[in-house]
Amino acid sequence: MPPANIALAEPALSYSLMLIDLHFRHEWFFAIFLFCGAIVLANVVHYILFRVLRRKEAEDKGTRWGIQRYLSHPARAIFFITCLLIVLPTIPGLPPALESALRQGLIMAIVASLGWFVVGCIYVLQSILLRRYDLKADNNVRARRVHTQFQLFRRMLISFVVIVDIGALLWTFNDPRIWHYGSGLLASAGVASLILATAAKSTASNFLAGLQIALTEPIRIDDVVVVQGEWGRVEEINSAYVVIRIWDLRRLIVPLTYFIENSFQNWTRESADIMGTAFLYVDYTIPVEELRQQLNAIVHPSPLWNKEVCGLQVTNLSERTMEIRCLMSSRNSSENFDLRCLVREQMTAWIQQNYPDAFPTTRFAAVSELPIELKRSTDLRQSPEQQHP
């Protein structure tokens, strides 16, 4: 660099160093600098950590633990509040009362964030444990059992964490009066328990019903049930009610106690396999054996059939028609419904093409309404020419 440029740069450099020294000598500027540095540090640590975890999950698609989804936000809050607690003592000129209030608020915030983080860990644990149990599998009885039980136990764990977190928040206060008030509340717990037992009778009964459902398993997640004449699948079981997704996408909300106190149909209690029927009403003239062969020709190639049950029988006779039952089985109720519709359509089309007269008909016979004796006397009075034209 030429000597002239160096001479010009030295005053500028010295002036900049003077400004930096002046700013750092100012206590408030140093506190603001540390505050900004705390925010940057918290975001950088959070970004690097969860960037690595996200890349790890992307490399192994089978390892979907949900860490990014459930732990990202509470971890960011913990990093940020911790940095603020570190910066707080460097703020100059704060009154002791205000500093104590700010510290208490930050400690309560970090305790609440830790509780949030533990709840996220419960969801991550659920994702890890339930990876092996796929609800979309054909035979998913065990998967539905595990999903149902863990869903109920997860809510119980979260309730326990919330109670512990509230206790930890109270513990952060150093005021003995709070514990004195707590002792007074415990002393009056006898009267309060009676009031709560009366007011929250339905809530307590639903909670106990939830425990009973988790242990005895009358229903599970994704079970096919018929409740109050509505067919649907169990979509959600929470601490108060069950959500049933009906076939037309409506939702039926049923209290938990209903499944303990009332009867209902569960089509997938032990297995999802199910049998269904399709009835035909045809004339006596149709050959039953050909109908049976046609049913086998329709059902056997169909992917909706589970290759177990396929039969045709005459189950009833009336003065006009035969009742023929087509019986077939499938892997689940949805496929069985489609298979029954297929059998009705194709069997009807086959009868139309091959035996169009075999559909139910009503026969009439023309019979004279005159009495027999009156008819004979009328015939005798007729002349021979009229009788034999």
Please, what is the angle between helix 96-129 and helix 141-171, to 10°?
Answer: 170
Q: Is the pLDDT of residue 15 over 80?
A: no
Query: DSSP states of 250-303 as a string?
Result: -EEEEETTHHHHS--EETTSS-S-EEEEEEEEE-TTS-HHHHHHHHHHHHTT-T
| The pLDDT of residue 389 | 42
Buried b (16+ CB within 10 A) or exposed e, 136-170: eeeebbebbbbbbbbbbeebebbeebeeebeeeee
Length of the chain as a residue count: 389
Q: Is the pLDDT of residue 239 over 50?
A: yes
| The pLDDT of residue 338 | 94
Whether 368 maps to a domain, the answer reads no
- Predicted confidence band of residue 378 (pLDDT cuts 50, 70, 90): low
Looking from the CA of 261 toward its CB, the CA atoms found within 13 Å total 9
Report the pLDDT averaged over residues 42-68. Answer: 65
Question: DSSP character for 370?
Answer: S
Q: Which residue has the higher pLDDT, 10 or 143?
A: 143
Is 326 in contact with 347 (CB distance < 8 Å)? yes
Q: Is the pLDDT of residue 213 over 60?
A: yes
* One domain for residues 51 and 162: yes
CATH number of the domain where residue 287 is located? 3.30.70.100
| pLDDT tens figures, 294-318 | 999 999 999 999 999 999 999 999 8
- Predicted confidence band of residue 99 (pLDDT cuts 50, 70, 90): confident
Point out the least confidently predicted range of 21-25, 115-119, 217-221, 305-309. 21-25
* One domain for residues 28 and 145: yes
**Residue 58: C-alpha distances to residues 53, 55, 61, 63, 74 (Å):** 9, 5, 6, 8, 22
Which of 119, 148, 181 is a domain's end point?
A: 181
Q: Based on the structure, what is the number of domains in the chain?
A: 2
The pLDDT mean for the chain works out to 75
Point out the least confidently predicted range of 38-42, 131-135, 273-277, 361-365. 361-365
Whether 140 maps to a domain, the answer reads yes
Report the pLDDT averaged over residues 194-205. Answer: 58
| The pLDDT of residue 109 | 87
Which of 181, 202, 233 is a domain's end point?
A: 181
Compute the distance between CA of residue 327 and CA of residue 337 in angstroms, rounded to an integer: 12
Q: Where are the beta strands (DSSP E) in the chain?
A: 224-227, 230-237, 241-246, 251-255, 265-266, 274-282, 310-317, 322-330
- Tokens standing for 47? 């970004």
* One domain for residues 174 and 290: no
Q: Is the pLDDT of residue 386 over 50?
A: no
Whether 209 maps to a domain, the answer reads no
Q: Which residue has the higher pLDDT, 226 or 12?
A: 226
| The pLDDT of residue 206 | 67
Whether 222 maps to a domain, the answer reads no
| The pLDDT of residue 245 | 92
| The pLDDT of residue 185 | 45
| The pLDDT of residue 166 | 81
Is 347 in contact with 295 (CB distance < 8 Å)? yes
Looking from the CA of 386 toward its CB, the CA atoms found within 13 Å total 6
Whether 331 maps to a domain, the answer reads yes
* One domain for residues 278 and 164: no
Is 65 in contact with 59 (CB distance < 8 Å)? no
| pLDDT tens figures, 334-352 | 899 999 999 999 999 999 9
Range of the domain at 134: 19-181
- Predicted confidence band of residue 165 (pLDDT cuts 50, 70, 90): confident
Whether 259 maps to a domain, the answer reads no
Whether 335 maps to a domain, the answer reads yes
Point out the least confidently predicted range of 166-170, 205-209, 271-275. 205-209
The answer, as to whether pTM is greater than 0.85, is no
* One domain for residues 170 and 295: no
* One domain for residues 59 and 176: yes
| The pLDDT of residue 326 | 95
Q: Is the pLDDT of residue 91 over 90?
A: no
Which of 145, 165, 181 is a domain's end point?
A: 181
Q: Which residues pair with 324 in a beta bridge?
A: 280, 314
Whether 305 maps to a domain, the answer reads yes
| pLDDT tens figures, 176-193 | 655 555 445 444 545 555
Q: Which residue has the higher pLDDT, 86 or 186?
A: 86
* Alpha helix ranges (H) inside 88-140: 96-129
Report the pLDDT averaged over residues 343-370. Answer: 79
* One domain for residues 55 and 156: yes
